[in-house]
Structure formats: C-alpha cells, structure tokens
Amino acid sequence: MKQVLITISSLFIILLSASAQKEIYFNTTKPEDINVNSMRGVEIGSTLITYSLFSPSYYDKSFAIPLYMGYFDEKRIAQSWTLTSRIGLSHSFGNLSHYILFKDSMQMGDSIYHYNNTRIDHYKSEYSLNLGISIEPRWYFGYKKRYQVGKANLNTGWFLSLPLTAAVTLINTYKNIIYTDSYKSYCTFGLTGVLGYRQAISKHWFLEGNCQLIKVNSEIFTRNNKISISQPWINLLPGISIKAAYTFK
C-alpha cells in the first residue's frame, strides 16, 4: 500500500513539472498592481503519513486509505497573501488489526511474574468519517515574478501556509478493546506549518501538493466519563498531501 501511494505522489510531481512548461511572454503590468487571485471551488485529495515510511512495521500489517472531499473559499488579503476557509469530509478506508488481551508471564530470578499482554487476533475492514473545518493564511512567495512571465494562473507557484484545523468524528467502526478506561475522542485540533506548490492545468482546474513540515495537535476527549483537553503534542514531518481542485472563478 505504501508503494502505491509513493508511486502516485511521484507521478503527481512529474505531472506538475510537465504542466509548468509554458511559453514565457512579456507583461507590462506594474508590480504594485499585481495581486493574487480570489477563488472558490471544490477539491478532492489524499495524504500520506510520512513517519510510516521511516518506521515500517513487520508485525502489524494494518493500512488505511484516506480520502478528503470539500469546499474552499480563498480570499486575497494582500498582494501575495490569501486567507482560505474550508469545510469538508475526511474518509478513511482501512484493513485494521484487532487485538485481544491474554495472560502472560515471565521469570525473573526465582519469581514468576504474571501480567496482561496483547496480540493481534485478526484483521477487519473498517471505516471512519470526520467533518472538518479550517482557516489557512497562505503566502505565495515569488508570485510577482511568475505573473510577469505568464505562469501565475490560479495562483500557480510555491507557497508557505499555517492552517488551523478542527475535526469531529461522525462515524468510526473501529473498536479497540485494549483501552479499558472508556476513552473516547470527540474533537481534534491541529496547527500545521506547510510548504507546497500549486499548478494550474486549465482555466478552472489546478493540482496541488504540499509537505506538512511540523504539526501541533490537541484533542477533546473523555476518559472514565470525565471530559478533558489533552496537552498539545508535536509531530515532525506529519504528512505529504496531494489534491485536485475545480474553481468557480
């Protein structure tokens, strides 16, 4: 499964490079009059979790295929800056491991210690559905130069952004029996540093890929019927995302 996602990502990068080969033309627009575009539309994409590439599991063969579908509204707030609001559904189709608890023991010196252990009992097809919203300030650096040579359609080019996201779980068929303290997550939050590239492929369509450089997460959950907010935790290189979008300019 990982090899398939890596291949798709590689093909996406090649397609972006090929689409970028356009004729350069002379533009006389004054630099102070060059602005990024506002637009709205629908998008579909997927994310590859980066750390899974560097820590393969030979014991647990679970995998999941994420799929995002949503609506976005990108507003210009400065010459090279936009603010995008999003709402969408995140699906996850997976074949996940189910564990069982069993009694185990080990000998230390003259004593035998008994404890509970876990092992995979079987794998099962599972599905989850999350509803998410986000606000994303984005800087299209080098935009003026791209505009002047005719390579800025639909804000084509490199960007840095800092999306703030929140998501709630609507459906989750997976039940983990390891957790015996009635743990349940209700809402997750994330603040992510992103480096990405957008490439227009027609008047209304664009492709986009990004590398999520660092992410700070938190969540609202209950444990033993007590609601809590978790301490924020940091993920380095949390994901690589690709998507296609249709705009209603």
Quick check: 52 pLDDT over 70? no
Strands in the chain per DSSP E: 39-48, 63-78, 81-108, 111-139, 157-161, 164-172, 184-200, 205-223, 226-229, 233-247
58 compared with 118, residue with greater pLDDT: 118
The per-residue pLDDT for 132 is 97
Q: What is the CB neighbour count within 10 angstroms for residue 112?
A: 9
Domain ranges within the chain, ordered by starting residue: 2-91+129-247
d(CA 78, CA 82) in angstroms, rounded, equals: 7
2-91+129-247 fold? Porin (2.40.160)
Q: Quote the pTM value.
A: 0.79
pLDDT tens per residue, range 197-207: 999 999 999 99
Pick the closest to residue 140 from 89, 206, 95, 189 (CA basis).
Answer: 206
Contact between 234 and 212 (Cβ < 8 Å): no
pLDDT tens per residue, range 148-161: 999 999 999 999 99
Pick the closest to residue 90 from 203, 5, 166, 21 (CA basis).
Answer: 166
φ/ψ of 3, rounded to 5, equals -60, -35
110 compared with 6, residue with greater pLDDT: 110
d(CA 169, CA 187) in angstroms, rounded, equals: 7
> Which distant-in-sequence residues (6+ apart) come within 8 Å of 236 by Cβ?
213, 214
The per-residue pLDDT for 11 is 47
* Residue with tokens 């019927």, as numbered in its chain: 225
Most distant CA pair in the chain: distance in Å? 87
Q: What is the mean pLDDT of the chain?
A: 84
Contact between 241 and 66 (Cβ < 8 Å): no
- Let me know how long the chain is: 249
- Helix intervals (H) in 107-214: 143-148
The per-residue pLDDT for 179 is 60
pLDDT band at 9 (very low <50, low <70, confident <90, very high): low
Contact between 75 and 83 (Cβ < 8 Å): yes
d(CA 194, CA 192) in angstroms, rounded, equals: 6
pLDDT band at 100 (very low <50, low <70, confident <90, very high): confident
